[in-house]
Structure 1
């Protein structure tokens, strides 16, 4: 893996070099970033959640150095969905002083084969690989290496041709966001192009992304994670996973939302907290879940999903996106007199009917790369803009070194 250069400095992989992870697992070979702490992971044995939280969306190495070349040895986990089109390799984005300066990827790694029909997973060991960036300016600079948002990545070694130090705290406010696969970054082009990463860059805030594909399910251990994570701004995007997993009925949904928000408030009583309802998704606007892969699409080279529910089942309390939007708006309105820092945003303001006409969801559930960019820019304007609930995000913030997410 390593080149034959003799001037490399081996940089110890320590937590102070990483941002966006809430836990670091020391493995036999290196470090595995996690976006949920060990206590939370221990409370749920779901394989989908384990896969999602180990994919380092928003996790980045943050360095100050004058190095002109960097090498990162990694062991990636490549997903293969049986019968579905091949997935692209994960992307590593290099930022220099906040500007995109390079992209790379690795072709090899552990292979995880997933049966879409049953959820069964089969793992096959594979080799590690090296990501290299060179040709960087020979001047002191801030460098960030954003790890692939959708590819579990074990960090094995870091090398540079000049000394490396952790990037100092720049006084930016921390934005803690929780949501589904769309927040996780599904179908975004790269880790800095997911809509939360795009919004954070425009707003000048530090992102901790708890977007968990298939797993935004009002789990109490996620609420406690939000409660216990230092942040100046918090948003929760609720809805689509509750519908497409057909997890609960309206009777359970309402108190679950209240309980989730109560738990977050236990740790952040005065923090601006934004509740975001689902983006437009015609598949589930008025049709309950579950949603499943459309078998007729598997042979076409483009995976699509379909809804199995019946709109008539809404009368029995089954959830649809319109039901959830109405209830979230009502819940926030009910709580607002006692919680002046609680806010609501209709997700259709981020991606609505006109957007769907121009940029339809390729698989019926997830926005494409262009839509991610649009959603991120709109969120930055609506949440961080002059009238938004996060409008003071640009003000400098003093904090202790432990408050950024590792």
Structure 2
């Protein structure tokens, strides 16, 4: 087997690679953000490499990645392991769950955490087709990893990205929560169908209209941009309507400083019954701890909307008005309930009240691709230009 040094040229979709004693840790946010605002939740989410993959050309028929995962678990709540996916010439062909690694266990009742060290994980894919091919190894979307070693039975070379660069920012749903593997999260599904090169800036619990995220998007190369806002602002109870609307305008203004005419989709939240008419903050339902499925609940009161509190319905109306009030022909509003609405909730309920399962991620990804990339969609011209 040939051991190839892991270098930035092989890793795609990350902002930076941090050198650690074990290897390389991908980060999805640049160091200046992590230093300026070292919020533990944000740091944990940005280090989970959703959308990050090794991209290479090779004739190898066996590919092995050694990594050291770190995962977050909640005491009394079972969370599935992350996975590493193999994509060959654009088609997902295999998925292997992680094992080993470090565990950070959090007690949701007290907030205390405990670190339990573990061994490295070796993921091997065999039986790849003969001949030269484009191989992508997608890293787990829901566990951070340190990349230790890449081994193959034939030489590898970095592969340049293809297709228009699509930068997407959103919440835990865009991050991929409840999907079983990294190529099954809805942005990855949509990017594959649309022929786009995904840069995923979905961060669990952290789509909060933060100025540093707008600056990050502003400074990235991007042919297509989408921003999905609302659910985290509601379930954190982080803003009132008076502050939310100008914050969104400022967020868009900053993006436009770097991308004045780039197609930009502003998407509102998908349907989530607990917050449609009830403000946050959201919380874990204590009665669900220790059961097969932890669930979330809204703890606000509907009448608080009169005081400026946000619900998902209020947010959708506000975002639609933001887009209508801006003189920007390349800015498009997407109602999130067209991706997943009340009727879908009856047929494909959100298992925990907030996050879609893998099958529903696929539905959302397919619908976004049909809206954005096909026909006269806002991203269609960008895809044709990239092709």
What is the TM-score when the length of structure 2 is the normalising length?
Answer: 0.98
Runs of 4+ that moved beyond 4 A = none
Tell me whether 1:128 sits opposite 2:120 in the alignment: yes
Task: Choose from 339, 351, 355 the match for 2:340.
Answer: 351
Tell me whether 1:388 sits opposite 2:381 in the alignment: no
Matched residue SS, 2:9: helix
Query: Unmatched 5+ residue regions in structure 1?
Result: 1-7, 399-406
Contact 2:231 2:269 in 1 (8 A): yes
Contact 1:203 1:393 in 2 (8 A): no
| Structure 1 residues 323 and 347, CA gap change in structure 2 (3 angstroms) | same
Number of residue-to-residue matches in the alignment? 387
Looking at structure 2, the residues matched to 101 and 299 of structure 1 have their Cα atoms a distance apart, in angstroms, of: 35
How do 1:294-373 and structure 2 match up within 5 A?
Answer: 294-335=285-326, 337=327, 339-373=328-362
Q: Give deviations 1:49-98, integer Å, cap 9, x for gaps.
A: 111111111000001000111111100012220121x2211111101111
Determine the structure 2 residue equivalent to 1:245: 236
Contact 1:22 1:36 in 2 (8 A): yes
Deviation at 1:396, TM superposition (A): 4.3
Task: Choose from 206, 209, 213 the match for 1:218.
Answer: 209
Looking at structure 2, the residues matched to 118 and 327 of structure 1 have their Cα atoms a distance apart, in angstroms, of: 36
Deviation at 1:112, TM superposition (A): 0.8
Determine the structure 2 residue equivalent to 1:91: 83
Which stretch has the larger CA shift, 139-148 or 72-81?
Answer: 72-81
Contact 1:114 1:120 in 2 (8 A): yes
Determine the structure 2 residue equivalent to 1:402: none
Matched residue SS, 1:201: helix
Determine the structure 1 residue equivalent to 2:196: 205
Tell me whether 1:175 sits opposite 2:166 in the alignment: yes
Task: Choose from 46, 63, 69 the match for 2:62.
Answer: 69
Tell me whether 1:138 sits opposite 2:130 in the alignment: yes
Determine the structure 1 residue equivalent to 2:9: 16
Determine the structure 2 residue equivalent to 1:60: 53
Matched residue SS, 1:387: coil
Looking at structure 1, the residues matched to 262 and 363 of structure 2 have their Cα atoms a distance apart, in angstroms, of: 26
How do 1:77-116 and structure 2 match up within 5 A?
Answer: 77-84=70-77, 86-116=78-108
Contact 2:104 2:116 in 1 (8 A): yes
Contact 1:43 1:221 in 2 (8 A): no
The root-mean-square deviation of aligned C-alpha atoms, in Å, is: 1.2
Tell me whether 1:50 sits opposite 2:43 in the alignment: yes
Matched residue SS, 2:275: coil
Looking at structure 1, the residues matched to 146 and 54 of structure 2 have their Cα atoms a distance apart, in angstroms, of: 13
Contact 1:182 1:366 in 2 (8 A): yes
Contact 1:80 1:87 in 2 (8 A): yes
Contact 1:205 1:393 in 2 (8 A): no
Looking at structure 2, the residues matched to 289 and 31 of structure 1 have their Cα atoms a distance apart, in angstroms, of: 38
| Structure 1 residues 59 and 155, CA gap change in structure 2 (3 angstroms) | same
Query: Unmatched 5+ residue regions in structure 2?
Result: none
Looking at structure 2, the residues matched to 277 and 157 of structure 1 have their Cα atoms a distance apart, in angstroms, of: 40
